[in-house]
Structure 1
Amino acid sequence: MSFDLQLKGLRALVTGGTKGIGAAVVQGLHAAGVQVMTTARAVPAEPNAGVSYVAADLSTAEGVAEVARSVRERWGGVDILINVLGGSSAPGGGFAALDDAQWFDALNRNLMPAVRLDRALLPAMLAQGSGVIVHVSSIQRLLPLPESTTAYAAAKAALSTYSKALSKEVTPKGVRVLRVSPGWVETEASVALAERLATQAGTDYEGGKQIIMQSLGGIPLGRPAKPQEVADLITFLVSPRAGSISGSEHLIDGGTVPTV
C-alpha cells in the first residue's frame, strides 16, 4: 500500500528553518513536494535549492509583518503554517535572575511570533476553508527547570493554551491547529550545551549527555530525539493523512514526561 502523504504542491511557511528542528522540517516538507518558505534572522550562506528564505526578526511586530508581506506577494497565502521559532537566553539563578527584559524576551521569542503570524495569515486559510497550523511547544511547559527556564517554560505554556483556544475557534471552519512538544532534541545548540557541561565536569560528550538527561529526570528511551524524528512527526501531522487530528498536543520526548 502506498503511503503518499498527499502534500505535493501545497504552500508552507516554516519559521526558524535554518537550524535544528526547523531545518529538518524544511527539508522534509521540500522532499514531500511542498513549496516551502522559511525565515531566519539572516539567509544562510548555502541555502537549500528550491526553498525561499525571508530574513526577518520575528521577535518584533515589524519582522512578522515583513514575512507576511512576502508570503502574500509570492503565494497570496499558505496551506501550512509551522511555528518552530523559539528558545531562551535567560541566565541561570532562578526567578530572581529574571528581570522584565528577560520575561518579555521569552514571550517575544516563544509566544508572540505565532500569535502575530496566525493573525496575519489565518484569515486567508479561513477564506479558502482549509489549512493546518502547527505550534512547536516544549515538554518544559509540563516540566519547567527552575534554575534557568522558568520564563521559557511559562511562554511555552501560554503558547499551548493559546493553540488550544485557537483550535476550538477555527477547526469548525476547516483549519486544523496542532501542538508538537519535543523533549530534549540533539540540535546544534544542545550538542554545544552537552559539550560545555562535559568540559566543566571533566568528562566526554556522552557524559555531558548523561548530565542533561539526569537534569530532566531521565529519558526512558536513553537518548535525545533527532531533529529528523520531530520533523517526520510534523510532516505527517500537516498532511491530509492526519486530516481528523486537531486540537491535540503530541509529545516526542522518549518518555521523559512521567505522567499520563
Structure 2
Amino acid sequence: MHTSDNAGPPAVTISDRLDGRRALVTGASKGTGAAIAARLREAGATVLGVARSAPDPHPGPLGFVAADLTSPDGVDLVAAHVAEHLGGVDILVHTLGGSRSPSGGFAALTDEHWADELGLNLLSAVRLDRALVSGMSAMRRGTVVHVSSIQRRQPLHAATLGYAAAKAALTTYSKGLANEVGPHGVRVNVVSPGFIRSSGADGLVERLSTGQGITRDEALGQVMDSLGGIPLGRPSEPAEVAELVAFLVGDRSAAITGAEHTIDGGTVPTVG
C-alpha cells in the first residue's frame, strides 16, 4: 500500500489546562467573579479570591482574602497576602465593579457618587495592577483580564452614567497597559459583558423600580429596551462569561492581547 509523504506535520494540541498557575480573581464571593474563580480552579489553577466579604463556606487563607480594593490599604493587604502565600501571580482577573449611585441622570450624581464609581470600577484595577503586574513582567509571563461592560459604548444615562464612564476609562487604560507590558510577555485583555443574570443586575432593576415608582417587571423591561434588546433572547449567565475568561488566560489565546471581547447576546450592533 502506498503512503503519501505529503501528510504534513501532526496537529499541535494546545491544552486548556491551567495546572501550576497562580490566579487572583477579584469580586470572587458571588456572581460572575465566583463563577470565574470556580472555572479556573476546575482547570487546575491555584485561585485566590478577593472580595470585601468572604463566601460561605470560607475556602481558607490560601483560597480567599477579605479586602476593600477601593482603598490603597486594601490593595496593599492583598499584595502582601500574595507575596506570603503565592509568591506572585500568573493570572489576574479583575471582576470587581458595579454601581451604587442613584438613578436620575447626570444631575443626580454628586462628586461623592463620581468618586465612588471611579474608585470601584477603575482605580481598584489600576492599583492592583500596579502592585502585581510588575512581578509578571519580571517573570516575562502572565495574563490580565479586566471585566468592563457594554455600557462603556451604550451608557444608560438615567441609571448608571458614572459606572459607564468608569468602565470606558478602564477599557482605554487596559489597551495602554497591554501595549506597555506586551513586550515583557504579559497579555492584557478586556471582557465586556452585556446583561448578566446576577445579583448586580437585580440591584439595578431594584433601584430603577424604587427610584421611578414602577414594578420590577417594568424596570427590567426598561433595562432591556435601553440596551436595544438582546437578539439571543436572554441574558448571559455568569458561567458563560467564566468560559470566555478561562480561554483568554490560557495558552489557547497566546496571540491575543490588547483586545476587547464582548459577550452580550448580540446587543451591541457591530459591522465588519
TM-score interval, smaller chain: over 0.9
Work out whether 1:153 is the aligned partner of 2:141: no
Quick one: which amino acid aligns to residue 150 of structure 1?
L
Cα distance between partner residues in 2 of 1:65 and 1:125: 17
Could you list the runs of 4 or more consecutive aligned residues of structure 1 that deviate by over 4 angstroms after TM superposition? 48-51, 192-204
**Partner residue in 2 for 1:175:** 186
Structure 2 residue matching 1:54: 3-state secondary structure: strand
Paired residues for 1:61-76 under 5 Å: 61-76=72-87
In structure 1, the residue corresponding to 2:268 is in which secondary structure? coil
Structure 1 pair 23–101 and aligned structure 2 pair: CA distance change class (3 A): same
Q: Quick one: structure 1 residues 68 and 257, their matched pair in 2 at CA, closer, same or farther if it must change by over 3 Å? A: same
Which of residues 15, 20, 23 in structure 2 aligns to 1:9? 20
Gaps of 5+ in 2: 1-10
Of 213-222 and 15-24, the range deviating more from structure 2: 213-222
- Whether the aligned pair in 2 keeps the contact of 1:6 and 1:241 (CA below 8 Å) is no
Q: What per-residue deviation string (whole Å, max 9, x for no partner) do you get for residues 49-98 of structure 1?
A: 89611111001011011001100111111000000000011101111111
Among 234, 257, 261, the alignment partner of 1:223 is 234
| 1:241 Cα deviation from its structure 2 partner | 1.0
Answer yes or no: is the 8 Å Cα contact 2:103–2:207 preserved in 1.
no
Question: How far, CA to CA, are the matches of 1:59 and 1:197 in structure 2?
Answer: 25
Matches within 5 A, 1:86-235: 86-191=97-202, 193-194=204-205, 201=214, 209-235=220-246
Aligned residues: 258
| Aligned residue number for residue 82 of structure 1 | 93
Instruction: Find the aligned partners of 1:76 and 1:51 in 2 and give their Cα distance.
Output: 12
Which range moved further: 194-203 or 41-50? 194-203
Amino acid at match of 2:124: P
SS at match of 1:147: coil
DSSP 3-state at the match of 1:111: helix
Q: Which has the larger radius of gyration?
A: 2
Moved more, 185-194 or 236-245: 185-194
Match of 1:240 in 2: 251
Task: Indicate the residue corresponding to 2:68 in structure 1.
Answer: 57
Q: Deviations over 1:108-144 (max 9, x none)?
A: 0000111111111111101110000000000000000
Cα 1:50/1:30, change in 2 over 3 Å: farther
Range 111-120 or range 43-52, more displaced: 43-52
Q: 1:195 to 1:58 in 2, by over 3 A?
A: closer
| CA positional deviation for 1:196 | 7.7
> The residue matched to 1:177 in structure 2 has which SS?
strand
**Are the equivalent residues in 1 in contact too, given 2:159–2:208 (CA < 8 A)?**
no
Cα deviation, 1:4-25, whole Å, max 9, x if unaligned, reads 3131120000000011110000
8 Å Cα contact 1:94/1:150 also seen in 2: yes
1:19 aligns with 2:13: no
Alpha-carbon distance in structure 1 between the residues aligned to 2:35 and 2:60: 14
Q: 1:30 matched to which residue of 2?
A: 41
Cα contact 1:68–1:120 (8 A) shared by 2: yes
